[in-house]
A and B are shown apart, each in its own frame.
Chain A
């Protein structure tokens, strides 16, 4: 069995809302339990797909792993080493191997820099290219990989379409051929043809360099295509995880089932998607005790409002957190 490249243990991130002094005195301070004790691992060369409700903590997880933010509690291990104890210097070196493709390219690309500047910067920092010609060549190569022509190299980010910007962000993420790429909705702004090209590119790079991916996406067909295993999150928790084929053909958690039932198929003659969950989206702000799907779940019983279900193994590699399977 291959080594675990990444291991995440009991990872917690709580944010404080209205944490200023005035609000604290007025008792208006609240805690968002964005990530609330999650465990997962990714083996070298593997792709873990991460899906879940909007606001459930996926991007927060990605930012924790790259240490853009520090966790409230928990462990992150890279190649078995405690990433959280890395010195700033060691962390800077490690960043070369752990790259995040941000969910929002508009906000993550510096508007005052050209594409050449943006893409050559990491090459400079890590001394992978020195002369102007070397850098230019490598940047053109990167643009070409993501389907952008050489005419774009001296333009600024705001002069691009949404999908073009997203591809620039992907090129930046791949520039250093990292070991682990965390793609936070990296193909959501692309038409399906370019999306197919980029997904094929991810796959080719994985085969060539044994890249490891944590792939966050809402498009379940994309997740189905790219992942080896899938983790499903709901309000700060992982509720189900397993091999991709199992999750799609034999989902067990009511939230996973609800997700799959809500996918609109690209055929107007097929029935429209169904919503199997009722009621309000659960809140990560001081969530009530018990299962976080309680109140919306068609299978809920009295225990669901009292005891939080633990993630337990139901088959090889298949884990589910639910009292009533």
Chain B
């Protein structure tokens, strides 16, 4: 890999709640190189968003707590930075597209001021420059009539338009690192294609790196260089996109790929992985997937499998791969 821009090492994040401790992220290590797109996929509630927010130091503490690990951006430890430094990183280097637009957009300001004001404070643009840049960004993300829409409020936008406002906001400062948490879920496939092209062009032009969180495995297949798969706060598999799709090694990944609905035929019922995710405040011993795994063995109930490199660049945490095959 080229020089890693982002290095997450052994990150654990927990929430200290009234009813107990919830381990949201447990021992996750991820490296993202310059110009690389890393896709993070996995079970709903497995810790993808919390991992992403940790990079920006945006996990609410309390109740959240970084229990262990480090996050390094361009070699510097994010958690050792002063408030001043982290503000600079957030405003100019790392940008984030949040999973739910309304959690990050303000209902009482116009769309234009929400995109434009940071451009003035962070990049020192004049009012006029910021407005022109904002209209240009709205246009780039496919908002029709941008010169009118710039003065509207978010409640006057559709779900997908709000998502694109956030994208415009994130991309307007030419970040070197983009964290995109489900950035295209509210978009139809044609506008999704436009957005993915826009992001690709930014990767090419600025050598931008991308941490791409999504449930859309079709998008992952075409947009990402490498993929990490999360289940119940653990990273359970990681490898190149080709490897993960052609040769998945963790039973959760295999089940996930089998659950994708098909476009060519209509099946009456789909094939999900049986069972439900474990209680994260009282997780099972051993491999967190064992109550649902069709290949579970005795050892799976006792010991957490090690995250091991099975072939160059392809890692998985599963006892099936720890023992010499019988």
Q: Chain A: residues with CB nearer than 8 A to chain B?
A: 15, 17-18, 30, 32, 51-55, 58-59, 103-107, 147-149, 151, 154-155, 159-165, 167, 184-185, 188-197, 199-200, 203, 218-222, 224-225, 244-245, 248, 258-259, 262-270, 272-273, 275, 277, 280-285
Can you list 6 A-B pairs with a CB-CB distance of less than 8 A?
A151-B282, A164-B45, A225-B266, A264-B189, A272-B222, A275-B194
Contact with A268, one of B145, B216, B242, B255 (Cβ below 8 angstroms): B242
State whether the Cβ of B186 lies closer than 8 Å to any Cβ in chain A. Answer: yes
What residue of chain A has the Cβ atom nearest to residue B158's Cβ?
Answer: A55
A148 CB contacts on chain B under 8 angstroms: 276
The complex places the Cα of A177 from the Cα of B168 at a distance, in Å, of 40
The answer to whether B276 and A218 touch across the interface, beta carbons within 8 angstroms, is no
B180 CB contacts on chain A under 8 angstroms: none
Closest 5 CB pairs of A and B: A163-B44, A54-B160, A283-B144, A264-B218, A196-B270
B245 CB contacts on chain A under 8 angstroms: 266-269
State whether the Cβ of B103 lies closer than 8 Å to any Cβ in chain A. Answer: yes
The answer to whether B270 and A259 touch across the interface, beta carbons within 8 angstroms, is no
Q: A103-B186, A264-B189, A283-B144 are in contact. Are A59 and B272 (CB under 8 A)?
A: no
Task: Identify the stretch in B69-77, B257-265, B299-307 within 8 Å (CB) of chain A at 4 or more residues.
Answer: B257-265
Contact with B44, one of A151, A190, A220, A282 (Cβ below 8 angstroms): A190
Contact with B144, one of A17, A221, A267, A280 (Cβ below 8 angstroms): A280
The complex places the Cα of A200 from the Cα of B259 at a distance, in Å, of 11
The complex places the Cα of A123 from the Cα of B103 at a distance, in Å, of 28
A160 CB contacts on chain B under 8 angstroms: 45
Contact with B148, one of A17, A53, A151 (Cβ below 8 angstroms): A17
Q: A151-B281, A188-B186, A275-B190 are in contact. Are A194 and B268 (CB under 8 A)?
A: no
What 0/1 readout, one digit per residue, does chain B (18-35) give for beta carbons within 8 Å of chain A? 010000000000000000
Q: A196-B270, A221-B263, A264-B218 are in contact. Are A106 and B102 (CB under 8 A)?
A: yes
The answer to whether A197 and B188 touch across the interface, beta carbons within 8 angstroms, is no
The answer to whether B188 and A54 touch across the interface, beta carbons within 8 angstroms, is yes
The answer to whether B261 and A163 touch across the interface, beta carbons within 8 angstroms, is no
What residue of chain B has the Cβ atom nearest to residue A58's Cβ?
Answer: B158
The answer to whether B44 and A164 touch across the interface, beta carbons within 8 angstroms, is yes
The answer to whether A196 and B271 touch across the interface, beta carbons within 8 angstroms, is yes
Nearest-Cβ distance from residue B279 to partner chain A, whole angstroms:
5
State whether the Cβ of B219 lies closer than 8 Å to any Cβ in chain A. Answer: yes
What residue of chain B has the Cβ atom nearest to residue A265's Cβ?
Answer: B218
The complex places the Cα of A200 from the Cα of B142 at a distance, in Å, of 34
The answer to whether A193 and B263 touch across the interface, beta carbons within 8 angstroms, is no
B257 CB contacts on chain A under 8 angstroms: 266
A195 CB contacts on chain B under 8 angstroms: 215, 259, 261, 272
The answer to whether B261 and A196 touch across the interface, beta carbons within 8 angstroms, is yes
Contact with A52, one of B188, B260, B272 (Cβ below 8 angstroms): B188
Contact with B270, one of A165, A200, A275, A283 (Cβ below 8 angstroms): A200
Nearest-Cβ distance from residue A62 to partner chain B, whole angstroms:
11
* Residue among A52, A164, A283 having the largest count of chain B Cβ atoms under 10 Å: A283
A32 CB contacts on chain B under 8 angstroms: 156
A104 CB contacts on chain B under 8 angstroms: 100-102, 159
The answer to whether A245 and B270 touch across the interface, beta carbons within 8 angstroms, is no
State whether the Cβ of B89 lies closer than 8 Å to any Cβ in chain A. Answer: no
State whether the Cβ of B249 lies closer than 8 Å to any Cβ in chain A. Answer: no
The answer to whether A221 and B182 touch across the interface, beta carbons within 8 angstroms, is no
Q: A106-B102, A264-B218 are in contact. Are A53 and B19 (CB under 8 A)?
A: no
What residue of chain B has the Cβ atom nearest to residue A283's Cβ?
Answer: B144
The answer to whether A199 and B260 touch across the interface, beta carbons within 8 angstroms, is no
The answer to whether B189 and A263 touch across the interface, beta carbons within 8 angstroms, is yes
Q: A162-B182, A189-B215 are in contact. Are A154 and B159 (CB under 8 A)?
A: no
Residues from 99 to 158 in B contacting A, C-beta threshold 8 Å: 99-103, 142-145, 148, 151-152, 156-158
Nearest-Cβ distance from residue A153 to partner chain B, whole angstroms:
10
Nearest-Cβ distance from residue A27 to partner chain B, whole angstroms:
13
The complex places the Cα of A15 from the Cα of B153 at a distance, in Å, of 13
State whether the Cβ of B256 lies closer than 8 Å to any Cβ in chain A. Answer: yes
B272 CB contacts on chain A under 8 angstroms: 193-197, 200
The complex places the Cα of A52 from the Cα of B187 at a distance, in Å, of 9
The answer to whether B193 and A273 touch across the interface, beta carbons within 8 angstroms, is yes
B41 CB contacts on chain A under 8 angstroms: 191
A163 CB contacts on chain B under 8 angstroms: 44-45, 215
Nearest-Cβ distance from residue B239 to partner chain A, whole angstroms:
12
Q: A155-B17, A159-B17 are in contact. Are A245 and B266 (CB under 8 A)?
A: yes
What residue of chain B has the Cβ atom nearest to residue A284's Cβ?
Answer: B144
B176 CB contacts on chain A under 8 angstroms: none
State whether the Cβ of B273 lies closer than 8 Å to any Cβ in chain A. Answer: yes
Contact with A106, one of B103, B188, B217, B255 (Cβ below 8 angstroms): B103
The complex places the Cα of A266 from the Cα of B260 at a distance, in Å, of 8
